[in-house]
A and B are shown apart, each in its own frame.
Chain A
Amino acid sequence: MLSLNSDTLERLNATLPASLASRRREALREYGRLDMPNPKEENWKYVTLGFDLDHMTIPATPGDSLPEGDFLAALTNRAGSAVMVDGRLIGVENHSEAWLGSATEAWEAYPPSDLLTPDTDKFAAAALAFSSDGISLRIPRNRAVDAPFVIDVQSTLPDTVTFPSLDIRAEENSEATVVVLFRSPDGMASVMVPNLQTTVGYGARLSVTTVGIMGTEGVTVMHHRSRIGRDATFRAGEIGLGGRLARIDLRTTLEGAGGSVEVVGLYFGEMEQVLDYRLVVNHVGRSTSSDVFLKGAVEDQAQSIFTGLLRIEEDAVGTSAFETNRNLVLSDGAKANSVPNLEILCNDIICGHGSSVGPLETEPMYYLMSRGLSRERAERVLVRGFFEEAIDRLPLDDLDEPARQAVNRRFAEAQEGGRV
């Protein structure tokens, strides 16, 4: 087990080119300078971490990999897969023309992206200093890969922290679909700090869906940075189900003219889960468009947080930007915080946002009951219907059924447990 200090960093650096080693040292300096985030900071409001990275250790060797589970089982048709266990890439399979493999191996041909900066927060600094290995996926120009790439990221050792890094780049006019799963066993406390970077080149079409299905005591603090080029299309899917705390800090920059991003997500927090979404879409280029659409539910004592900022820069004329966050609060002790924000520095744009937080509506409930559905059945039907709109819009159809099953099962369990 390795502590988060300079000894560990130099040990990791020994296997890396010198140019990258200096970046890590800089990140370590930031790590030392920054404090653990606390809920007094606006960007960490409502979040109690309950651990300190300084006291955690990185696994020296990976544990045994986890059994497959419903989501992976639904992804039968794949262009390629990579499995990362406890921060180490342990297996790669690739049937496509894309390059998929260890970021260390790819470093010379494909220098790593630097979309995440170490001054973001202590977790980002730690991720940049201590990531032991990373996965790189490059889709070559003018190539379209139909089947999805599946990246399975696991944490299997208790009381450890891991820093998986994923660098996805779709080159000019290419097309690909990626699914990334974050998993750990129920009841095991561990922390995962993924650094996901996506670059979508000129005219490229990329979708990346993250599936957060950590076990009951797992924590994920993910940074996802993406950069969208001219006339490029990026679709991000977010399925948030697992973990004691699951945080997604997503920042997308629409750099080139005509680029677009769609973020579609669903989350369902149970018991004492905290699901924390911090999304920023930055419109820089002209005629760029964004659509953020997240639907979530919380039951028992669970809490969700959505803060979404649409920022339209001065030169982003002809931009359209939309943001919707709908929340179902299913128990008295559950809480959903939803804060959509706009920051508009340009006139010629179309912009809209909507947000709602509340229980199941009484009129649809009465309507279903007037057809003879018991209250419990009517609730299940309404919860299913609530998520359907988000499931419909997920970038990859293969995930629809496991996502649907997961939210339906979760609500049925909450009903059986008398928590809703």
Chain B
Amino acid sequence: MGMALKVRGLRASVGSMRILNGIDLDVPFGQMHALMGPNGSGKSTLCHVLCGHPDFTAEGEAWVDGREVMGLEADERARLGLVQAFQSPVAVPGVDLAELMREAAEERGIDSAEANRRIAEASRRFDMDPFLDRSINDDLSGGEKKRSEIFQISVLSPKAALLDETDSGLDIDMVRKVAAAVEEMRGPGMGVLMITHHSRILNYVEPDRVHVMMGGRIVTSGGPDLAQELEKEGYEGLRKRLGIEAPRAAASAKPSSDFFTDLPFEV
């Protein structure tokens, strides 16, 4: 089976703070993997580092469908098929959503008729019509931003999709829609890494694998049962079971929120 996303020994830091301490991960085509972990464990950072955010220094290797992506610019990685749905996407006033999707299609050499067809189809699925000619993420509620992000994934249909807490802030109907879309996208042409805090969405979509991240490492991986075990024992229980010390440094600095969202810039 080909790997949509393969990661080896990925380390990353922002300034002098080390956030990722060596990540190994394989997401084969056709599979959906869930990545869970407490706040501050480095989940969002993993997405940003894989996608080429300029603020991180990274070492290690990552491949999308066998193509090395580390060291490439963010746009090259996206065109090779690595796209993330952001947890807290930035507003881009004056640039409307449909325009962005058409520009993205044009950059990939997709003709405008096909681009418009994809936009219309994804828009129907996620009820995005009222948002197509509005500025990207400008004056949108948290849930609307998540819809906009999954809509974009649906239009761009990448080889490796990173969904960063796309399920949080959504009402139950929309969680179902997102789950259905993920289920549908999970074809032979795509692998999905879904980052989630809650196992709620996992009631609607069954992951092939569940990985748990703590202190910038994947500490354990397993089948769908792992999510249910976590639900019962919590991260604290898992930590005890695995004999991991409570994190200090990066993770404990901001125990009550996701580390990335507390960085001094907006994401």
CB of B135 within 8 A of chain A? Answer: yes
Q: Is A366 an interface residue (CB 8 A)?
A: yes
Query: Which of B51, B53, B54, B90 has the largest number of chain A CB atoms within 10 A?
Result: B90
Residues in B whose Cβ lies below 8 Å from that of A367:
86, 89-90, 92, 136
Residues of A within 8 A of B108 (CB): 372
**Chain B residues near A373 (CB, 8 Å)?**
75, 100, 103-104, 107
**Other-chain contact of A370, B84, B93, B136, B266 (Cβ < 8 Å):** B84
Secondary structure class of chain B's binding surface, majority of residues? mixed
A387 to B78, CA, bound (A): 27
Check if A363 is an interface residue, CB within 8 A of chain B: yes
List A378-394 residues whose CB lies under 8 Å from chain B: 378, 381-382, 384-389
- Please indicate the chain A residues that have their CB under 8 angstroms from the CB of B51 in the complex: 370
Residues of the B chain whose Cβ atoms lie less than 8 Å from the Cβ of A366: 53-54, 74
Establish whether residues B95 and A363, one from each chain, have CB atoms under 8 Å apart when the complex forms.
Answer: no
Interface size on B, residues (CB 8 A): 33
Inter-chain CA distance A47–B75, complex, in Å, is 41
Contact (Cβ within 8 A) A369 B107: no
Q: How many chain-A residues does the 8 Å CB contact rule pick out?
A: 23
- Bound-complex Cα distance A370 to B267 (A): 12
B-contact bits for A79-114, CB 8 A (1 contact / 0 none)? 000000000000000000000000000000000000
- Per the bound structure, the CA–CA distance linking A262 and B265 in Å amounts to 33
Q: Contacts of B90 on A, CB cut-off 8 Å? A: 363-364, 367
Query: Given A372-B108, A385-B93, do A377 and B74 touch, yes or no (CB 8 Å)?
Result: no
Residue pair B75, A369 in contact (C-beta under 8 Å): yes
Which residues of chain B (62-105) have a CB below 8 Å from chain A? 73-75, 78-79, 83-84, 86, 89-95, 99-101, 103-104
Given A363, A364, A375, A381, which contacts B103 in the complex, CB threshold below 8 Å?
A381
Q: Is the CB of A389 within 8 A of B93?
A: yes
Q: How far is the CA of A368 from the CA of B93 in the complex (A)?
A: 12
Main secondary structure of the interface of A (DSSP, over half): helix
**A362 contacts chain B at the CB level, 8 A cutoff:** yes
B41 interface contact, C-beta 8 A? no
Query: Closest residue of chain B to A390, judged by CB?
Result: B94
- Using A363-B90, A367-B86 as known contacts, say yes or no to A381 and B95 having CB atoms under 8 A apart: yes
Minimum CB–CB distance for B23 against chain A, Å:
19
Q: Is the CB of A382 within 8 A of B73?
A: no
A residues contacting B by CB (< 8 A) are 362-364, 366-375, 377-378, 381-382, 384-389
Give residues in B with beta carbon < 8 Å to A: 51-54, 73-75, 78-79, 83-84, 86, 89-95, 99-101, 103-104, 107-108, 135-136, 152, 156, 265-267
A sample of 14 cross-chain residue pairs with beta-carbon separation below 8 angstroms, ordered by A number, consists of A367-B89, A370-B74, A370-B75, A370-B78, A372-B107, A373-B75, A373-B100, A373-B103, A374-B107, A378-B75, A382-B92, A384-B94, A385-B135, A388-B95
Extra contacts besides A370-B51, A370-B83, A381-B103 (14): CB < 8 Å: A367-B90, A368-B100, A369-B74, A370-B78, A370-B84, A371-B83, A371-B104, A371-B152, A375-B75, A381-B95, A381-B99, A381-B100, A384-B95, A387-B94
